[in-house]
Structure 1
Amino acid sequence: MSNKASSQSQPLDPYEYLQIVQNPNGTLTCSIEYPKAPPTSDPNLPIPVLTKDVTINESNKTWVRLFLPRRALLSKHGSNSNHKLPIIVFFHSGGFICGSAATNVVHDFCVDMVDNIEAIVVSVDYRLAPKHRLPAQYDDAMEALYWIRSRQDEWVKNYADLSNCYLMGNSAGANISYHVGLRVAEDVEDLKPLKIQGLIFRQPFFGGTKRTDSELRLENDPVIPLCTTDLMWELALPIGVLNRDHEYCNLRVGNGPKKLDEFRKLGWRALVSWTGEDQLGDRGKELVQLLEEKGIQVVSDFDEEGCHEVEYNEPLKAKQLIEMVKGFISS
């Protein structure tokens, strides 16, 4: 299913690039290790955002990291004690094969969102491929939504407005947001009182056998080469899938486009954010076109400059994205 990169002085090995190693039992493991940030929930510390980890499913080893504005906790007995905060359910990137809710850049970005937007963020740590292939990640995301609905955690119970929830993800996380949205649209009654108001897609990770202009133009992108995304799909799609024209990958395949009619009926809005120097850029444009065809209200945020996940490396880009998200939620 993967394709070779165009001729270079030394062809790129996507396995080596992604640090994927073969184990003695024949399984594959992504050995990339990103620095991780611990949660900090002590309200006596002079930090703007409190964080803590809560287990969702012990058997699957899935959990969420909660982010709460410290000022919300301190105002518990104040005049704003009845003021509930919107919920952003966040899904991290990593091509379904790596990354974590505890990864430094993910943690720091969520802290900045909470501090600037005045919301609760529930960042989901889902299972990873190739050990757990799609749709395991969608299943874990749905389980997290049902956990939020149950209000077992005091932060969610005391400070979260369950009627004002947004699904958000970047890259593979945006793909998860999309497919979970399709599921939720068919299950809105069971999720009550949790109510989705909109979806936020940052540099969405989709694909297909037909190449887009941005994929061809940025085939050898140093941040996310085309051969690496091909390999990610090969390792993430269900065993037996022959190519990338599968409903989990290709936006135009399967029942997804038909199910989008429910988005419109529910009055859901969408924010799609992408950049011009991202190999996945045209996939964001394709998502906007599909949503608009279905009559869904879409806010498009296109920045000509910026590589994949530029917001994790450039504070100004992160600030611009967070301001866009804030405006989308407040509207």
Structure 2
Amino acid sequence: MFAAIDPSTHPYAALGLTRNPDGSITRAAEAPITPPSCNLTEPTDPVLSKDVPLNPSTNTSVRLFLPRTALDTATKLPLIIYVHGGGFVILRAASTIFHNLCTTVASETPALVVSVDYRLAPEHRLPTAYDDCMEALHWIKTTDDEWVTKYADLSNCYLMGTSAGGNIAYHVGLRAAVCAVDELGPVKVNGLILHQPFFGGVERTPSEIKLATDTILPLAVSDIMWELGLPLGADRDHEYSNPMTRPDVLDKIKDLGWRVIVTGCDGDSTVDRQMELAKALKEHGVKVLGKFIEGEYHGYDLLEPSKSELILGAVQEMVNSPNK
């Protein structure tokens, strides 16, 4: 995910960032991006995709992914709202690794995937990303876009996010749990898919200590992401970072009967945080499916798509077996 620079000693450079004297950052280079593909006359792509403005005043948008097979059936598809990763600071919905994942999820589930291109920190610190994704939920409710109105089952909706996107999906889920009936109907969220979600805390966990100098996500890099992403003056025990500071809110998820999938691997410095959240959810009576494996590293299935069977299986299990 990072450049060929030691991220432990040069974390900003490893992320393609330059820290300016005034505290702002300059993004030196953008990761590879993939344009949308929406050619209805050339049946070569199994998944169609297109970009739609979300809020022109904030320059946000959503990228929709529609399996071509949906064009030939009257059966409506599950709807997955996807939130990309990048530590709140880098990457976009159009970034190739996320475009490819959404394409595969749309095809293999199958589902209509709505990927949110939210505003990045530090120009727009949390909770801005949460606000943008909540706006995407309201957009789905009110839009007249044909892909949504014709092909999506709004009563069968799921929030999914990768890494920092998993953090965002979790917090948006908490908001949706509060206003699910009154404000979002007919959009009905039925569960959360947290794909290697990014959480933190002031006290270091064993996995953070063990993998402090990991070449993929060392503490020096994750600390910078929290420094740039959290509200000014907040530390890593802020509720946006450390969900264990607000365990009471987990009851909201239980009361709605949602299921939550949490995936992770023991080569990821954040795995203890992920397992801690899964345990807390279970203790609060939430139906949790923990999908943890040995080895690998943070984002391994993005960088090596041939290893994406865990997350794809988790999505299918959630979406296609809603009452299991």
**What is the letter of the counterpart of residue 226 of structure 2?**
W
Once the two structures are superposed, the pairs formed by residues 108-187 of structure 1 within 5 Å of their partners are 108-187=100-179
Quote the offset at 1:11 in angstroms: 6.2
Structure 2 counterpart SS, 1:122: strand
2:285 alignment partner in structure 1: 295
Matched, 1:323 2:316: no
Structure 2 counterpart SS, 1:167: strand
2:11 alignment partner in structure 1: 14
**What is the letter of the counterpart of residue 209 of structure 2?**
L
2:257 alignment partner in structure 1: 267
**What is the letter of the counterpart of residue 199 of structure 1?**
L
Once the two structures are superposed, the pairs formed by residues 43-82 of structure 1 within 5 Å of their partners are 43-45=40-42, 46-73=44-71, 75=72, 80-81=73-74
Quote the offset at 1:269 in angstroms: 0.5
Offset from partner CA, 1:1-28 (integer Å, 9 cap, x none): xxxxxxxx99602222222214576522
1:90 alignment partner in structure 2: 82
In 2, distance between residues paired with 1:10 and 1:280? 16
1:38 aligned to 23, 35, 40, which one?
35
- With 125-134 and 9-18 compared, the bigger mean Cα shift is at 9-18
In 1, distance between residues paired with 2:302 and 2:169? 19
The answer on whether the counterparts of 1:30 and 1:97 sit within 8 Å (CA) in structure 2 is no
Structure 2 counterpart SS, 1:164: strand
Quote the offset at 1:295 in angstroms: 0.4
In 1, distance between residues paired with 2:100 and 2:156? 23
**What is the letter of the counterpart of residue 254 of structure 2?**
R
In 2, distance between residues paired with 1:120 and 1:11? 39
**What is the letter of the counterpart of residue 179 of structure 1?**
H
In 2, distance between residues paired with 1:72 and 1:249? 38
Quote the offset at 1:315 in angstroms: 2.8
In 2, distance between residues paired with 1:263 and 1:170? 19
The answer on whether the counterparts of 2:12 and 2:19 sit within 8 Å (CA) in structure 1 is no
In 1, distance between residues paired with 2:171 and 2:8? 34
Quote the offset at 1:282 in angstroms: 0.8
In 2, distance between residues paired with 1:304 and 1:136? 34
1:283 aligned to 263, 273, 277, which one?
273
1:211 aligned to 184, 204, 216, which one?
204
Output the aligned Cα RMSD.
1.5
The answer on whether the counterparts of 2:7 and 2:14 sit within 8 Å (CA) in structure 1 is no
Structure 1 counterpart SS, 2:57: coil
In 2, distance between residues paired with 1:247 and 1:119? 32
The answer on whether the counterparts of 2:78 and 2:153 sit within 8 Å (CA) in structure 1 is yes
**What is the letter of the counterpart of residue 29 of structure 1?**
T
Structure 2 counterpart SS, 1:231: helix
Offset from partner CA, 1:30-59 (integer Å, 9 cap, x none): 334111100111112211000000000111
1:252 alignment partner in structure 2: 244
In 2, distance between residues paired with 1:26 and 1:171? 25
2:25 alignment partner in structure 1: 28
Aligned pairs, how many?
Answer: 314
**What is the letter of the counterpart of residue 248 of structure 1?**
Y
2:213 aligned to 206, 209, 220, which one?
220
**What is the letter of the counterpart of residue 36 of structure 2?**
P
The answer on whether the counterparts of 1:29 and 1:130 sit within 8 Å (CA) in structure 2 is no
